[in-house]
Amino acid sequence: MKACTTCGIEKDSELFYAHSGFSSGRNSRCKICVDKVNKRNRDKNNRTVCSKCGLNKKPEEFASHHSWCKTCKNEASKLWAKNNKSKVRNTVVKRLYGITLEQVNEILLAQNNRCAICKTDKPGGFRNTWQVDHDHETDIVRGVLCSSCNNGLGCFKDDVTHLYDAIKYLEKQEK
100 touches 87 (CB < 8 A): no
Last residue of a domain, one of 26, 52, 82: 82
pTM: 0.65
Q: What is the pLDDT of residue 44?
A: 61
- Structural domain for 40, as ranges: 2-82
Q: Model confidence over 73-103: pLDDT tens digits?
A: 999 999 999 999 999 999 999 999 999 999 9
Domain match, 168 and 96 both = yes
Other CB atoms within 10 A of residue 156 CB: 15
Strands, E, within the chain: which ranges? Answer: 2-3, 10-11, 16-18, 26-30, 48-49, 56-57, 131-134, 141-145
Three-state DSSP at 41 gives coil
Q: Model confidence over 57-71: pLDDT tens digits?
A: 888 898 777 788 999
Q: What is the pLDDT of residue 41?
A: 66
Task: Give the Å distances, CA to CA, from 90 to 98, 103, 104, 132.
Answer: 10, 10, 9, 12
52 touches 72 (CB < 8 A): yes
DSSP string, 55-66: -EE-GGGB-TT-
Domain match, 127 and 165 both = yes
Phi and psi angles of residue 156, each rounded to the nearest 5 degrees, phi first:
-90, 5
Domain match, 50 and 121 both = no
Query: Cα(first)–Cα(last) distance of the chain, in Å?
Result: 75
Q: What is the pLDDT of residue 83?
A: 97
Domain match, 48 and 117 both = no
Q: Is the pLDDT confidence value at 40 over 80?
A: no
Average pLDDT, the chain: 91
